[in-house]
Amino acid sequence: MTRTTDDDPPPISRAASPAETTGAHPPGGLDDTTLPGSEYEATRTQVDSPLVPRLHTLQQGSRVGAYVLDRVLARGGFSLVYRATHAGRGTAVALKALHAELASDLDAVVRFEREIEVIQRLNHPNVVEILEHGRLDGRGPPYYVMELLDGCSLDEHLRARGRQSATDALALLEPLCSALDAAHRCGIVHRDIKPSNVFLAEQDGRRRVVLLDFGVAKLLDAPGPALTSSRHVVGTPACISPEQLLGEPVDSRADVYALGVLTYRLLVGEPPFLERSYPMLRQLHLYVDPPRPSARAPVNPALDAVILRAMSKDRRERHPSIAAFLSDLRATVEASRGTGAPSSEAHARRALALYAEVHVDPGAIEEPDDGLLADLELILPFITAESVSAGLTTAAQTGSSVLLTANRADDPGGDLETRRRVVNAALAIHQRLEARAGRDPRIAVRLCLHAGELLESGEGSPAAGKLLEIAAWVPDRPATGVFASPELLADLEIATAGEEGALRRLAAPRPEAS
């Protein structure tokens, strides 16, 4: 059973946040809803979203201590967040209150009060400040009052701006690491570090990085049983450490792993694993090494070792502390300044790409049998070998996908022939996979083809370019078959059978008459 953050609704597309309609954001990860099976991040839930049950809401104008409630900013499965105003001073704040329906749930109350204790224990400039706390009507659900932040989450920032330079990433990570280091010194493990739990607040014309949402934080020195049983996995699937997935005791190195994932996202623009389903993400975090950041984006290769060490499966091989990680990262960034990053040496070339990915039924991957594993082990090596024979070169590979590229000829005739050869190779590969002996029906294979620009480093390896931005041209919905973009199919007389996102499904070739 997977436990993430406050809410656990079914997967949906991203909804507009209350902040996007009001201009103010409640701090503390207050309206974050982690969606198992979604891309890798939290989404924000609208005040009127049908996903969150209509629970008891305090009326506008109600008094809570010295504060008057203005309106609801966000709803979650555990709590509501209100914008409120101090009756005497007129200052705006955010007030978070446990749902009245959960006031008799001891676990929910203890978790809420634990969050208050954690934040107050830290008292750090890069952690949201709690102004006061108490019980509604003296004996009702617990609540706390905190500062109201103005700005956006790091997740929103990355979606708008894309990948960060090493210098910009370091500027974001230094205050975040300061907050995490302070938490660890206080015996607190956050357990849910991700872009949506980092807030970029604007105060007096300056940026303030704020670490949010200590709702699932672990107090290492807390007496008594933990808030979650061994059957629960606490964290967000895209950023979770192997030991959390296995339900093992955690220490500060679980946060080091998540920080490695976050740093990867900052520098590459995408998470290390692009799978969206929890079962596949679980397998990848447990057993598959992430691709080198420099193989996915124009990142200085010297940074690969720092990030991949932080993401080691064995916690003993990671940096021993947040401070050690930051020191290693800072030294590497400073040493690489002026040495010529791959992007400065890269030159553009016309190329085409074949992206192959393997999908497994979620129920099957939870407890895979020997037949399933044996079939899985054969697929990507077969695709790679056949593609290389057709003239492609491996650019990047994960445990469930492989990206191969090939140069396009300068003359139109040669270019046409190259594209036709790759299309025919992809169709033949898929046809042979569908007809393979021992084929497991729980496994689906998709081959996607695209033509575009590729930036090549001075060493001749792919460094950046539209072809490496896989999420921009590969459809979100997994489907079996061979798909190609209009750019790749231009002037080719290839039969198609429908569309999938920006790509066209290629019709399977008819078997030759015997």
Query: Does the annotation count 375 as an active-site position?
Result: no
Query: 244: burial class by Cβ within 10 Å (0-12, 13-18, 19+)?
Result: buried
- pLDDT for the residue 225: 44
Say if 118 falls within a structural domain. yes
Q: What is the DSSP letter of 437?
A: T
- Active-site residue identified among 192, 255, 375, 440: 192
Pairing relationship of beta strands 443-456 and 481-484 according to DSSP bridges: parallel
Contacts of residue 160, Cβ cutoff 8 Å, sequence gap at least 6: 152
| One domain, residues 298 and 401 | no
- For CA atoms 23, 27, 31, 36, the dihedral sign is positive
| One domain, residues 352 and 466 | yes
- The amino acid occupying position 377 is E
| One domain, residues 140 and 189 | no
| Interatomic CA distance for residues 335 and 325, integer angstroms | 15
Say if 133 falls within a structural domain. yes
Backbone φ, ψ for residue 143 (5° rounding): -145, 165
- pLDDT for the residue 269: 86
Contact 490, 385 (CB under 8 A): no
Please name every residue paired with 352 in a beta bridge, in sequence order, or none if there are none: 406, 451
Contact 273, 238 (CB under 8 A): yes
CA atoms within 13 A on the CB side of 28: 34
Contact 30, 42 (CB under 8 A): no
At 25, which CATH number?
Answer: 3.30.200.20
Of 307, 336, 365, which residue sits at a domain end? 336
Of 97, 130, 147, which residue sits at a domain end? 147
Q: What angle do CA 174, 177, 181 make, to 5 degrees?
A: 140
Tokens 């839930």, located at residue:
45
Tokens 């952690």, located at residue:
127
Say if 188 falls within a structural domain. yes
Say if 263 falls within a structural domain. yes
| Interatomic CA distance for residues 61 and 49, integer angstroms | 23
- pLDDT for the residue 208: 95
Q: Kindly report, residue by residue over 90-134, the tens digit of the pLDDT.
A: 999 999 999 988 888 888 898 899 889 888 888 899 999 999 999
Backbone φ, ψ for residue 158 (5° rounding): -70, -35
- pLDDT for the residue 512: 47
Say if 512 falls within a structural domain. no
Say if 77 falls within a structural domain. yes
Total structural domains within the chain: 3
| Interatomic CA distance for residues 147 and 28, integer angstroms | 10
At 431, which CATH number?
Answer: 3.30.70.1230
Smallest CA-to-CA distance from 171 within 128, 131, 133, 209 is with 209
| One domain, residues 123 and 260 | no
**Structural domain that includes position 34:** 2-147
| One domain, residues 83 and 160 | no
Contacts of residue 345, Cβ cutoff 8 Å, sequence gap at least 6: 457, 458
SS3 per-residue string spanning 340-365:
CCHHHHCEEEEEEEEEEEEEECHHHH
Please name every residue paired with 406 in a beta bridge, in sequence order, or none if there are none: 352
Rg (the chain; Cα; Å): 25
Smallest CA-to-CA distance from 132 within 148, 115, 151, 146 is with 146
| One domain, residues 370 and 384 | yes
| One domain, residues 130 and 188 | no
Q: What is the DSSP letter of 65?
A: T
Say if 285 falls within a structural domain. yes
Indicate the pTM of the whole model.
0.61
- pLDDT for the residue 463: 59
- The amino acid occupying position 267 is L
At 272, which CATH number?
Answer: 1.10.510.10
| Interatomic CA distance for residues 343 and 440, integer angstroms | 42
| One domain, residues 218 and 92 | no
| One domain, residues 295 and 391 | no
Kind plus residue range of the DSSP H or E element containing 325: helix 322-336
- pLDDT for the residue 241: 92
Percentages of the chain per state (helix, strand, coil), in multiples of 5: 35, 25, 40
| Interatomic CA distance for residues 421 and 155, integer angstroms | 40
Structure tokens at 399: 């445990």
| Interatomic CA distance for residues 84 and 503, integer angstroms | 49
Judged by DSSP in three states, 512 sits in coil
The DSSP result for 6-25, as a single string, is S--PPP-PPPPPHHHHHS-B
| One domain, residues 33 and 124 | yes
Say if 443 falls within a structural domain. yes
Smallest CA-to-CA distance from 213 within 56, 308, 94 is with 94
CA 32 to chain centre: 14
Q: Kindly report, residue by residue over 485-502, the tens digit of the pLDDT.
A: 998 999 888 888 777 767
Of 147, 176, 195, which residue sits at a domain end? 147
| One domain, residues 308 and 179 | yes
End-to-end CA distance of the chain: 53
For the chain, list residues with pLDDT below 70: 1-56, 215, 220-235, 338-346, 365-367, 399, 456-464, 476, 478, 501, 508-514
| One domain, residues 141 and 159 | no
Q: How far is CA 420 from CA 55, 188, 415, in A?
A: 59, 58, 9
